[in-house]
Copies of this chain bind each other. A is one copy, B any other.
């Protein structure tokens, strides 16, 4: 409804990063300052400033000179969206593929801006499927994958009686 698909409102990866950073910092510290955002994203205050003036013009953040930075409801929504995508990807990479957190986190950062809605949705379902199976922590096939990854051998989970 809010036209996130409209070209006029489409955020670049960098701008999504800023929104994500602001939301994350606010969540942790209550308020977000220019400095914090810069530290979070490893960019200089002047870069933050120009990003903020862009996002502010476009209605995603509120930023008065020398004051704390805040998100509009539009900005908050966009930030939540990015963070959710990030978490889904991170979850997939760590719990399904078994990638180290720090590598997975970096990869999630890189992927979170580019994926189509359809892929994100399916991935979400996939992670749910891999995690939430009732009555067991991890499904058998996931253990089998680990085994395959370690040894290159297919383990007979069922079928064919064997071994």
Query: Which A positions have Cβ atoms within 8 angstroms of B?
Result: 93, 96-100, 103-104, 106-107, 110-111, 114-116, 118-119, 122-123, 125-126, 128-129, 132-136, 139-141, 144-145, 148-149, 154, 157-160
- Known: A135-B159, A139-B141, A140-B141; 14 extra A-B contacts, CB below 8 A, are A93-B119, A96-B126, A97-B123, A99-B119, A100-B118, A106-B116, A107-B116, A110-B111, A125-B148, A129-B144, A129-B154, A133-B154, A140-B157, A140-B159
| Contact status A126-B97, CB under 8 Å | yes
| Contact status B119-A115, CB under 8 Å | no
Q: Which B residues are in CB contact (< 8 Å) with A93? A: 119
Question: Per a CB cutoff under 8 Å, which of B103, B134, B144, B157 touches A118?
Answer: B103
